[in-house]
Structure 1
Amino acid sequence: MTAVLDAPVCRPTRIRALAPVSGADIAVPVAGSAPLRYANLDYAASAPALTAVADQTAAALTEYASVHRGAGYLSQVTTARYEQARETVRAFVGGRADDTVVFTRNTTDSINLAASVTPGDVVVLDIEHHANLLPWARTGRARVVSSKATVDETIFALDAELAAAPAALLAVTAASNVTGEVLPIARLAGLAHRHGARILVDGAQLVPHRAVSIASFGIDYLVFSGHKLYAPFGAGVLVGRSDWLDAAEPYLAGGGASAAVGIDEIDWHTGAARHEAGSPNVLGVISIAAAAEALCDIGFERIGQHEEALVRRLDEGIDALGHVRPLRIFDDAYGRVGIAGFVVDGYSPRQVAEHLSTRHGIGVRDGKFCAHPLLAKLGHPDGAVRASFGVGTGSDDVDRLLDALAELAPTSR
């Protein structure tokens, strides 16, 4: 499979990783050579832990105890840390002072919670991750709008749907988990509000890459996952307006959600506790707060510049190859985060992913990325390949991917 290059490939100046992440120096076995440093290009599935996050989470273990109902010193310390995490997260995403911050298991869990409290129809696009399709479909109140060739045309279609009949909510992704394309969230929020609807934003693929402000953008509900935010310890977040959350039945029935329990009557809490029954994932919550602080320390302007340079390097390299075809939803996308979906002529997605892994020590994702309708819409119902990256990625990782893809050129077989 090895391609013979006629001349050396000249590439721009080397770009170094912005921040250390766990596992950055791990070596993995490859066919026909000594182990290679693992090139993790699968951040969109689960990002590695920032070293700062792993260190803070490990330190919290020494004072770990139950939260909210313990009188002991460690329980008090852990409760304070858990509740402070809410305020850290609220500030991180520019939440309003009266927003409720609910900790969940992941983005999917957060959207299922939102679906359980939404009092009416929900308008969604057909390009969504299953997490922002299936919970609404299960309610029987989802109205799915087909995306168009451009963002502007798609917004026009959403406008028409919201005008046609009342809806309680517009639920949209902020950045595609297949292509990385970003939607204009503030514009969509204004559209929803003009029609008397609220907006829920799936921020799973945007929050780790760009600054988000609930208040400034006009977002009513924002959901995201810790494991995509360099805090892979199994926790998620829903931040948003309290009235629907307080009016709905508790998401889970159990201890912590209840203020008083009798045989014939139950008094449920309001606020976050109403939907956080049972023992919470304390360490997961602490890790999310630690990640929020670490990313703010790095600075989203630096993060954006870093990822933009890597995206440009990857896009230019793919364009030069010719036999690798990038996926795009829109002709006028509002930029991209560090995600690139593509297919390779003559190879199945699994063949490409296995070649990258077994011969080059590169980790990518292949398949349909929990976005089956979108892959079918893009003309690839059998799936594609996705490379994704972030603050722990350098140009060496991107260059290794491009060199490995060059070996799959049709003339090399």
Structure 2
Amino acid sequence: MRKETVRGAKWGHSLPKLLVGSLLLLLVCFIFFYTGKGRDQHDFSHLYTKRGDRIAYFDFTGSGLFTQTQIQKVSHMLATKLYGNAHPPSPCARATEELIEEARELILDWLFVEQEKRDDYSVVFTDGATEALRTVGEHFPWTKESTITYSILNHNSALGIREYARIHNATIKPFRHEIEEIPMPTNKSANNLLVFPAECNFSGKKIPLSLIEEGHRKGYRVMLDSAAYVPTNPLDIVKSGADYACTSFYKVFGYPTGLGALIAKKSSTTDFQKTYFGGGTVKTSFADPPVAFLYQNFEERYEDGTRNFLAIASLKFGFEELEKQGGMQQISEKVWKTTEILYEKLTSLTHPNGRKKVEIYGSHEKGPEYQGGVITFNLLKPDGSYLHFVDAEQQIESDGIVQLRTGCMCNPGACYELTGVNVKLLLEHAERNEHICVPESRREIGGVPVGAIRASLGWATTLEDVDILVERIGNVMM
């Protein structure tokens, strides 16, 4: 009896120690999972091979990455409640409409639109930034007195707007913002449009948002292509003064794809000219007589057909992921620090004869005000000539562990300007109907490759990714 009492006493004394030990173990597991590699391997399990090797993903300008937590929340939402087409007045339609309006508010929150300014802006859902740009080009009130001016650093989707201006015999004026001012329109009183990207998708160069104010002074409305900028930078749309801006949400947080938005000042859309109408954009229509009455509300008027409502409902989980990272300012700072480290490592790579191995295009030495989280480059041989980016890419990505982007990235102006390709010779090749922007052609003009390699970073990029990429580039055989 006495021995049993002693054993019981020992057990009683050891119980607190066991509890403390268990709590410490749980704490270690928590720290590992939520702040270290454990959480990374859970949320980004698609970044790991079956062998457990991490894939160094460097195409965040092409597409962001979703997290497993994000997708699980989407799946749970779809599995636990019925959502239907928002056009009829059914209960499931009302539930959908509530989520759509909530998503519009989340987008305005993300763009720092204060409550008292909400009525000044419209959020029109599109299938991506390209459709948002096209919507402005198609419905802008062009006349033959109009002028469109645009930065040569624009993506093709923004350059395409000029074709609507051309149809109306408007004046077309490209410009280079670093060496010249925004050109004056032919008629300052006409409906004129300035188009430029907040960040060049080819090189990551940032264009000063002060161009918006300059454009307004000269008589332009301003279309800001913010698709490459907003995934890693905070954008205060009101403070910027832009009349129109656009985004693709898969570039921001990976999922959903096929969904973007046009964010527009209502005062800058009152004279837009709509021709086509689809389901949901008309109050009343007739087959005979051929008459239709469209909604006046900009969002209802321009969202033709059934909106991608399940994708729209999924947006809130993407925005939650941004908040988990500390918000856009913290994301921006983290991405820049990682970019800076990669830049320093790449610029230090040299051949045995002392010549540099990497030629980088951008404004990295000026800092994050002028440069985004992108490093676009070509590799140089020991004699200073170029190794074609296709040959370099094949070595770097040989086993699929590194993922990059090559070519001109759908941005001919930036590509030709920064690489120094002879545009006159390039035009001669194009007029002969040759494929000059297909990387596999290994096209060179005067010894200069028509394109480059782009490494674009995001909030999920790690220093481990940086080391993997630098090692691969350092080992490229010339």
TM-score range for the pair, normalised by the shorter chain length: 0.7 to 0.9
Alpha-carbon shift at residue 138 of structure 1 (Å): 4.0
Match of 1:65 in 2: 83
Deviates more, 1:377-386 or 1:81-90: 377-386
When residues 143 and 315 of structure 1 are mapped into structure 2, their CA distance, relative to the original with a 3 A threshold, is: same
What do residues 294-347 of structure 1 show as CA deviations (whole Å, max 9, x unaligned)? 324422232122111111111101110121111127986733221111111242
Aligned residue pairs total: 384
Name which of 385, 396, 399 aligns with 2:464: 396
In the other structure, the counterpart of 1:339 is 374
Shift of 1:183: 1.6
Distance 1:50 1:130 in 2: 30
Choose the corresponding residue for 1:325, options 326, 345, 359. Answer: 359
Query: How far apart in 1 are the matches of 2:64 and 2:273?
Result: 33
RMSD value over aligned CA atoms? 2.6
Superposition pairs of residues 279-318 of structure 1, within 5 angstroms: 279-297=306-324, 298-318=326-346
1:296–1:194 distance in 2 versus 1, CA, 3 Å: farther
Work out whether residues 245 and 262 of structure 2, in 8 Å CA contact, stay in contact via their aligned partners in 1: yes
> Which residue number corresponds to residue 417 of structure 2?
377
Counterpart position of 1:269: 295
The 3-state SS of whatever aligns with 1:211 is coil
Q: Distance in 2 between matches of 1:126 and 1:81?
A: 39
Q: Of 189, 207, 216, which aligns to 2:239? A: 216
Determine if contact 1:101/1:272 at 8 Å carries over to the other structure. yes
Corresponding residue of 1:168: 192
**Residue 207 (structure 2) aligned to one of 183, 190, 211:** 183
| Corresponding letter in the other structure for 1:257 | T
Separation of aligned partners in 2, 1:357 and 1:58: 33
Aligned runs of 1:11-410 on 2, under 5 Å? 23-28=44-49, 36-62=53-79, 63-95=81-113, 96-97=117-118, 98-120=120-142, 121-140=147-166, 141=170, 143-147=172-176, 150=178, 153-154=179-180, 157-158=181-182, 161-162=183-184, 165-166=187-188, 168-185=192-209, 187-230=210-253, 231-250=255-274, 252-262=276-286, 263-264=288-289, 265-270=291-296, 271-297=298-324, 298-321=326-349, 322-328=356-362, 334-345=369-380, 346-359=386-399, 361-378=401-418, 379-380=420-421, 382-408=450-476
Give the CA deviation at 1:372.
1.6
Tell me if the contact between 1:85 and 1:285 (Cα under 8 Å) persists in the aligned partners.
Answer: yes
Q: Is the 8 A contact 1:107 1:204 kept in 2?
A: yes
Q: Is the 8 A contact 1:102 1:238 kept in 2?
A: yes
CA contact (8 A) 2:149 2:175 kept: no
Kindly provide the CA deviation profile for residues 252-274 of structure 1, in whole angstroms up to 9, marking residues without a partner as x. 52110111112321110122011
TM-score, normalisation: structure 2: 0.74
Q: Which amino acid aligns with 1:323?
A: K
Task: Select the structure with the greater relative contact order (CA < 8 A; seq sep ≥ 6).
Answer: 1
CA displacement 1:199-242 (0-9 Å, x = unmatched): 11111111111111111121211111111011342101101122
Mapped to 1, the partners of 2:111 and 2:238 lie a distance apart of 9
SS at match of 1:175: coil
Conserved in 2, the CA contact under 8 Å of 1:66 and 1:79?
no
Unaligned runs of 5+ in 1: 1-14
Contiguous gaps of at least 5 residues in structure 2 = 1-34, 350-355, 381-385, 422-448
The aligned residue for residue 12 of structure 1 is none
Aligned-residue offset at 1:54: 2.2
Q: Is residue 226–residue 287 contact of structure 1 (8 Å, CA) maintained in 2?
A: no
Is the deviation greater in 331-340 or in 262-271? 331-340
TM-score after normalising by structure 1: 0.85
Q: Residues of 2 paired with 1:142 and 1:77: CA distance? A: 47
- Following superposition, the deviation at residue 81 of structure 1 comes to 0.5
Q: Report percent identity of matched pairs.
A: 21
Q: CA deviation at 1:287?
A: 3.2
